Amino acid sequence: SEVVIWKEFDRAKLYTADLESGLHYLLRVELAAHRSLAGAQLKTFKDFVTVIAKLFPGRPPVKKLLETLHEWLANLPLDKIPYNAILDLVNNKMQISGLFLTSHITWVGCQGSRLELRGYPCSLWKLFHTLTVQASTHPEALVGTGFEGDPQAVLQTMRRYIRTFFGCKECGEHFEEMAKESMDSVKTADQAVLWLWRKHNMVNSRLAGHLSEDPKFPKVPWPTPDLCPVCHEEIKGLDSWDEEQVLVFLKQHYSRDNLVDTYSV
Ligand code: FAD
């Protein structure tokens, strides 16, 4: 039977280990299901790399690796790229210049009480929340990418990534339905932060009580009152959100300043 070694962590913090393990999984496992990338798939991957290269608030070697990958893709004269070329770049060419992305999976804030629970999908949510927050607090980072001034830049890129590459196809279909319904109504970068928060809570409530739920991490409306008391208000005896406070909370929770490197190699 499996042994899970529990790591103590703080639910109010964001862990570098989760975001970097997620990126490792995305680049070396999820993408590996595609032997080569071409056409719309390649465009989706390029846009995704552009967005993370500009907005990922990680440690310098990882940021530099993403920036190098971005430049390499942008300057490539090919309309079809074998996956092995991407892997070779990430694993070999970049390490020569000291650029390094962990190849160990260490889940901290995304650890599950059993090995098959949480992990990668949790890290993907955290990554995208972090990117929407960065786009609203550091809009200048997207200047020159073609995404500048586009309030839906992160959401639309995420939407295409999920639809094209996310291993959970059923999740992709559910997310596409929500996107079709209301993503177009997002007019500012702050609204994008709140849109993703709202939709994530809808997913949480849909999945509450499912087999995929970790009993240690029940699916509840988030942030819970212990994380953000002022996010909750009572209107006529009913619990409801103070969205202005939720936005303030999300911008703090998913900021660079809330990222801690504990457990990162
Ligand atoms: P997660 O829901 O993964 O959340 C991770 C962390 O984000 C939480 O621990 C919390 O710190 C924070 N968080 C929670 N809620 C919010 C919020 N509203 N806003 C901001 N931060 C929040 N699984 C299915 O079975 N069916 C699906 O259709 C499905 N669709 C998915 C769609 C997408 C785009 C993604 C990324 C995942 C989807 N999943 C789906 C997986 C599922 O949502 C969870 O990721 C998985 O069950 C692990 O849950 P978790 O307990 O780690 O919490």
Domain housing 253: 14-260
CATH code for position 124: 1.20.120.310
Domain-embedded: residue 265 = no
Domain-embedded: residue 202 = yes
Q: Are 173 and 156 in contact (CB under 8 A)?
A: no
Output the tens digit of pLDDT for each of the chain's 265 residues: 556 789 999 999 999 999 999 999 999 999 999 999 999 999 999 999 999 999 999 999 999 999 999 999 999 888 999 999 999 988 887 777 677 788 889 999 999 999 899 999 999 999 999 999 999 999 999 999 999 999 999 999 999 999 999 999 999 999 999 999 999 999 999 999 999 999 999 999 999 999 999 999 999 999 999 999 999 998 888 889 999 999 999 999 999 999 999 999 7
Question: What is the enclosing helix (H) or strand (E) of 197?
Answer: helix 189-207
Question: How remote is the CA of residue 166 from the centroid of ligand 1, in Å?
Answer: 13
Residue closest to 255 by CA, chosen among 72, 161, 132, 78: 132
Residue closest to 43 by CA, chosen among 146, 138, 168: 146
Question: How remote is the CA of residue 124 from the centroid of ligand 1, in Å?
Answer: 8
Question: What is the enclosing helix (H) or strand (E) of 86?
Answer: helix 83-88
Domain-embedded: residue 242 = yes
Residues 249, 203, 240: CA angle, nearest 5 degrees: 50
Question: How remote is the CA of residue 8 from the centroid of ligand 1, in Å?
Answer: 21
Q: Are 204 and 125 in contact (CB under 8 A)?
A: no
Q: Which two tokens stand for residue 161?
A: 């990534």
Domain-embedded: residue 1 = no
Domain-embedded: residue 137 = yes
Domain-embedded: residue 48 = yes
Domain-embedded: residue 4 = no
In this structure, the residues whose C-beta lies within 6 A of any atom of ligand 1 are 110, 118, 121-122, 124-126, 129, 162, 168, 170-171, 174-175, 197, 200-201, 203-204, 207, 212, 214, 217, 222
Candidates 125, 171, 214, 252: which one to mutate for ligand 1, based on the most atoms within 8 Å of Cβ?
A: 125
Q: How many helices (H) and strands (E) does the chain have?
A: 10, 6
> Does ipTM exceed 0.90?
yes
Domain count, the chain: 1
